[in-house]
Amino acid sequence: MESKCTPEEGKRMVDEMHAEFMQRAAELLPATDLDRVEAAYQLAAKAHASQVRKSGIPYITHPISVARTALVELNLGTNSIMAALLHDVVEDTDYTIEDIRSAFGEDVAFLVDVLTKKDSGEYKVSKQIDNFKQMLDSINYDIRALLIKLSDRLHNMRTLGSMRTDKQMKIASETDYFYAPLANRLGLYEIKSELENLSLKFRSPQEYERIEKKIVSYMKIHADDITRFIEPIREALFDAGINAKVTARPRSVYALWRKMQDSGQSFKELEHVHQVDIIFPYNAERYSSEKNECLAIYSIVTDLYKERPYSMINYIDQPKENGYQALHTQVMTPMGGWSEIHIATETMHRNSL
> What are the residue numbers of the active site?
91-92
> What is residue 225's three-state secondary structure?
helix
Sequence-ordered alpha helix ranges (H) in 159-252? 165-174, 180-185, 189-203, 205-221, 223-239
CA-based nearest residue to 212, from 250, 158, 161: 250
Distance CA(1)–CA(5), nearest Å, equals 13
> How far lies 185's CA from each of 67, 68, 75, 341, 351, in Å?
22, 22, 18, 23, 13
CB 27 within 8 A of CB 72: no
Kindly give the interhelix angle for 127-138 and 106-115, rounded to the nearest 10 degrees.
150
Contacts of 87 (CB under 8 A, 6+ apart): 63, 66, 111, 112, 115, 116, 148, 152
